[in-house]
A and B are shown apart, each in its own frame.
Chain A
């Protein structure tokens, strides 16, 4: 009875957590876009006509976007108003046009329709996060912008589109250009390093301690220490990584390589403890049978004991990996908290990871980062869910019925 009540309370907290995260975050998966007809005039982009890449990429596309937007508002005069009008479009809009031109220079000289991201403030206003009823000084969207935006909506140029930038972009100061791909790739690379290091070492240690090590003071001491290591705060491992991997060995800062090594240290005790527990649960009669057949101890372990212990070892390892995926503190210590726009291409490139990205966005003042923070949490939870599902599937697959 009390048990059911306790479980119900716990489940309702989980439900509340999921509800708040999803209700805060789902709107980040759409982005307010505007359809603009841009005049890709040759005079402006490539006055010499040489179609030189350097010239094409240096052209003033921002001006083209502004011209196009202003054509809908012929009565807007004055520098201030013009600037305010231009601010409604994302500062990344000109890059979209530049990329299109670079991809296909033959479109120069034509008038083309582009679907461009609007600025984060307009986006938030459109999604209802900024209310027009509040005083003008309390909001980031001015009364004039609201009127102009309404005009654009009436013209049918504004639409909410699926936010692909969020899944294909790296971090950015501008919320509408910020994406989690950089952090996701960073997490993936970090976890890869962690797995490659901790899984073989962890299993080997577990096998040695459980199957081969003599029971003496030294192994007892090691055992106690492994159990203690599992309880060491993760930030301490970060400090260790900073002192040894960065300062002593001079490995690159902010790199998934070092992050993975630090997380591997953190995950090792978990894997060793889980591995030993599942090795211990293999019935001794199987060892007897194999040894009695004349199998050596190594053969006994590799042919019989390890396959039977594998489901448990895998479950333990994946749980350790999931822990590593959600870890922030040790990575702050080794500089993975840096603002990194590029998507890392290897384990030595500077990068950040999903939980650190969440931490960074949660710290940002822009209103649009609130929903992105929640959206990034949704993605992180999705990864964790996938890993746990993988653990269940692997366990089912390798499980041997007795």
Chain B
């Protein structure tokens, strides 16, 4: 099909009260690992500068969906993706798309904090360096400084930027990963259960940070914790058995879900 002719359709998968413009949308997205289908024909729109939470029991396909958005699934040999993902008006799976450039526009934060075993400075500077965002050392220092500030980590690490990042606590490491992701000025940040390895205090800090980040970024967060989804997100999508069951404003999903399966999941009947 001719991609240039395509304009994303209006949100057909549950309208948003906030009325935000669509940033990312998936159409008929299916994912197979070898012969096993992990995702069935998902249509989902993600609003700009919103936090969208993906919830669902383990193995429901929410992480798979997330990894489709920046084509991280490409690295898995046996993984096959059909359908389309649109970032603004670009088809993410178009052959002409440069994955390197795409991943600069869609950053990612992983479940387990995974800083590079390098210094704090080098961790944040890595993205801008490979994408050539800083002309000289001064500019690089500015980027690193502002990224760390936006990630709320600056005050804790400003005296030891050359210390190894692996010496930080788990929560600090995760915020460093966020700083690393935002250093390349992405448009979308994908977070795959960013707080599952953290204690409640570090979790609270990251959640506060997520709220602040929505001013500039579109955030999609996968979470196991329904409380977290309720706290941080504006919209929530519920996945089950590889299918998108329901999507809507977070308040609505948690107070009056339309689907019985959603109701059962959020009231803890299965999961």
Contact = CB atoms under 8 A, between A and B. Distances in A.
Given A291-B103, A294-B103, A294-B131, A401 B75 contact: no
A285 B77 contact: no
Contacts of A289: 110, 114-116, 177, 180
Sorting the interface of chain B by its residue count into under 10, 10 to 19, 20 to 34 or 35 or more gives 20 to 34
Interface string A283-323: 10111111111111101000110001000000000000000
A397 interface: no
A308 B77 CA distance: 23
A293 B181 contact: yes
Interface string B93-121: 00000011111100110101011110000
B20 interface: no
Contact of A286 (B70, B72, B116, B180): B116
A296 B184 CA distance: 15
B127 interface: yes
B130 A401 contact: no
Interface in A116-163: none
A288 to B, nearest CB: 6
A400 interface: yes
B110 A285 contact: yes
B164 interface: yes
A292 B107 contact: yes
Contacts of B110: 285, 288-289, 292
B115 A293 contact: no
B78 to A, nearest CB: 8
A346 interface: no
A233 interface: no
A209 to B, nearest CB: 13
Given A215-B77, A289-B177, A294 B100 contact: yes
10 contacts: A215-B77, A285-B112, A286-B114, A286-B116, A289-B114, A289-B116, A291-B75, A291-B103, A293-B127, A294-B100
Interface of B: 70, 72, 75, 77, 99-104, 107-108, 110, 112, 114-117, 126-127, 130-131, 164, 166, 177, 180-181, 184
The 3 closest A-B pairs by CB, nearest first: A294-B103, A292-B108, A285-B114
Interface of A: 214-215, 283, 285-297, 299, 303-304, 308, 400-402
